[in-house]
Amino acid sequence: MNIDIAMLSEIGRRERNEDSCGYWRNGGPVCCVLSDGAGGHGGGDVASRLAVDHVLEGFSTAPGCEGRAVRELIAAANRKVIGEQSRADVLHDMRATVVVLAIDPDRAIAVWGHVGDSRLYCLRNGYVHARTKDHSLVQSMIDAGLAEPARMQGPDRSVLLASLGGDEGFEPDLLDPPLALRPGDAFLLCTDGFWENVPERSIEATLQRAASPEHWLTLMHGLVRAADRPSQDNYSAIAVWCGAMDFSTRARSD
């Protein structure tokens, strides 16, 4: 199964870009990882870059596409961020989200895991098939029936209950067993600065019009820019296409 990947990362209207993203491939298994840093004074960008680099380094050494392998990649990234916090005062409180996608194109399987509120969307037949659930205060309130989903757009949506950079309560969410892939499956990994501007229906509609992963990102990027938020956060995304898209899905979007 052929795997096509595209990425973007933009600073938005912030002073620095604290998002990081990347992928590794070498003719076999593929790993995509995205991270959104927090901590201020430069700590956020350090934490997110450490997370991305450490996950990709670990995967390149042992490219596993099982839940336990992704769990260890995320746990190792957490240990790395914690280990670097004592290196300088400005890094003491640095934290980061992370979302990891591992694909074995030969076995046609995918597995993912995450911590924080950076998301992974899995799309099948042009529609959202699965999505990670945010580790956030607002998400926990929605789950408990204490808040409406519209609260996700509120000012307190970024209060996290879990992130890289701490031991207490650290437990990544993982898909296990892996997902059996079908030709035409697609994935979107993105930070909150991206998904707050691109609702699920728009993710689906743009995919159904896209000619490539790059085109899909371009269409969604246009929605972020059209929102023109005065305090636009950094925003980053990775688009992944598995095999040839089924163009018949586009007819359903018209």
List, for residues 54-94, the tens digit of each pLDDT value.
999 999 999 999 999 999 999 999 999 999 999 988 899 89
Rounded to whole angstroms, the Cα distance separating 145 from 121 reads 23
Phi/psi of residue 102, nearest 5 degrees:
-120, 130
Q: Which residues of the chain have pLDDT under 50?
A: 249-254
For residues 141 and 150, is the Cβ–Cβ distance under 8 A? no
Compute CA distances 51 → 84, 123, 250, whole Å. 11, 25, 36
- Polymer length of the chain: 254
Q: Cis peptide before 213, with omega less than 30 degrees from 0? A: no
Q: Position of tokens 């999505």?
A: 131
| E-only strand ranges, the chain | 3-10, 19-25, 30-38, 95-96, 98-104, 109-115, 119-124, 127-131, 173-174, 179-180, 186-190, 235-242
Burial class (CB within 10 angstroms; exposed 0-12, middle 13-18, buried 19+) of 241: buried
- Cβ neighbours around 249 below 10 Å, total: 17
Helix (H, G, I), strand (E, B) or coil at 238: strand
List, for residues 115-148, the tens digit of each pLDDT value.
999 999 999 999 999 999 998 777 677 667 776 6
User: Structure pTM?
Assistant: 0.92
Give the CATH number for residue 142. 3.60.40.10
For residues 102 and 29, is the Cβ–Cβ distance under 8 A? yes
What is the residue range of 55's domain?
Answer: 3-253
For residues 58 and 140, is the Cβ–Cβ distance under 8 A? no
For residues 37 and 43, is the Cβ–Cβ distance under 8 A? yes
Structure tokens at 78: 């957490």
Neighbour-count burial for 52-85, b at 16+ CB within 10 Å, e otherwise: bbbbbebbeeebbbbbebbbbbbbebbebbbebb
Structure tokens at 58: 């670990």
C-alpha distance across the termini of the chain, in Å: 29
pLDDT the model gives residue 41: 56
The one-letter amino acid at 179:
L
Q: How many domains does the chain have?
A: 1
